Amino acid sequence: MGVYVHIPFCRSKCYYCGFYSVASIVFKQAFIRALCREIELRKDYLGTYKPETLYLGGGTPSYLTPDELQIILQKLEEIHPLSLSAERTIEMNPEDLVPAKLNELRRLGFNRLSIGVQTFNEKGLKKMNRTHTARQAIDGIFCAAESGFENIGIDFIIGMPGNTLENIKADLKQIQYLPVSHVSVYILSIEEGSVFARQIEKGIFAPPPEEKVTEEYFFVADALREMGFEHYEISNFARAGKYSVHNSNYWSKKPYIGLGPSAHSFNLHSRQWNVANVKTYSESLDKDILKFDFEELTEVDQYNEYIMTGLRTMWGINLDILRSTYKKYWSSVESRIAAYIQQGWAKRDGNHLVLTERGWLVSDYIFCDLFVIS
């Protein structure tokens, strides 16, 4: 089971961002109070499941001070104690990677960093409205390693309009010399409500053609593999088996609790997601009211999710499970996998069906093809 905490504050909004966060800290104290209350009120959400991982995401969790983080962690420890060796991740923006902060994070028990680098190209960073420079990211990553962090992941964006393969090569060359064990490579998606979506609407720029994004994806995947990274999930690469345990639990459909505005939770038979508004979230929790939406998962939903989460990873989906637990649905689509294999989109690995990199690129099509509509 995983515990996710959403910290909804950012110094400013990145132009591509579709996550819920606000560029203001007016509600910071109210939020921390509300979050602690939510942790208490929902202490029984996952019944007898024991927490295995903690992930502070956002937003920008590293924007909080060590004292503020300590208040949250103390409450979590009281309700959801973790073993000493459990993976404890915090998302960081590069400008926060300074010795004093990093030492405090180590003292608080974090043992994994997920750093929003996106690119080492200064122009690209400005275009995205990131709040840091490439130098801050590079120095900060070395500083994190010197502070004792051995599990460092970075996020990287491809498919940026105007970007060239030369820029991407330069980024990859930089990654090669950094002490990072995990790279998440996201294809830029134009999120509704983001500044990029508005800029596209106004004709300020156009998203790059699909072939260009495909070329970048394969280029990056090949280069990272040559550097010793394993491509273990559509968007994720890890060295020396340092997979994200927290995210791997999502993909293997383990339960999790999500705390904070907009956070999602899953208890094997239903999903719920908190209101995506820090003011409403904090004010309602002041009155001990939890504001969330809820969805009970049908058997069809469970089947569709098994397909979607399983095929995202290099471990794929277990055909024995599909033929037993989901026989009713799988039997009507199973014959399609021969065509995927022939197209080079999928392969058999024992009793598992696994998508190839080529298959991951067309995974939306494959998921729709295998999904059952209820």
Tell me if 228 sits within 8 A of 239, measured CB to CB.
yes
Residue 249 CB, nearest distance to ligand SF4 (Å)?
A: 22
Q: Is 116 in the site for ligand SF4 (CB under 6 A)?
A: yes
Q: Is 17 in the site for ligand SF4 (CB under 6 A)?
A: yes
C-beta of 86 vs 183, nearer to ligand SF4: 183
Q: Of 2, 36, 37, 58, which lies in the binding site for ligand SF4, with binding defined by CB under 6 A?
A: 58
* Nearest of 179, 167, 196, 190 to residue 143 by alpha carbon: 179
Backbone phi and psi for residue 248, each to the nearest 5 degrees, phi listed first: -60, -35
C-beta of 24 vs 298, nearer to ligand SF4: 24
Residue 260 CB, nearest distance to ligand SF4 (Å)?
A: 13
* Nearest of 194, 199, 172, 167 to residue 185 by alpha carbon: 172
Q: Is 14 in the site for ligand SF4 (CB under 6 A)?
A: yes
C-beta of 14 vs 34, nearer to ligand SF4: 14
Q: Of 59, 208, 258, 261, which lies in the binding site for ligand SF4, with binding defined by CB under 6 A?
A: 59
Rounded CA separation 113/151 (Å): 7
Q: What is the 3-state secondary structure (H, E, C) of 317-370?
A: EEHHHHHHCCHHHHCCCHHHHHHHHHHCCEEEECCEEEECHHHHHCHHHHHHHH
Q: Is 117 in the site for ligand SF4 (CB under 6 A)?
A: no
Both structure tokens of 247: 């995210």
Residue 24 CB, nearest distance to ligand SF4 (Å)?
A: 12
Q: Judged by CB under 6 A, which stretch of 57-65, 315-323, 327-335, 347-355 contacts ligand SF4?
A: 57-65
Q: Judged by CB under 6 A, which stretch of 11-19, 26-34, 333-341, 346-354 contacts ligand SF4?
A: 11-19
Q: By the criterion CB under 6 A, which residues form the site for ligand SF4?
A: 10, 13-14, 17, 19, 21, 58-60, 93, 116
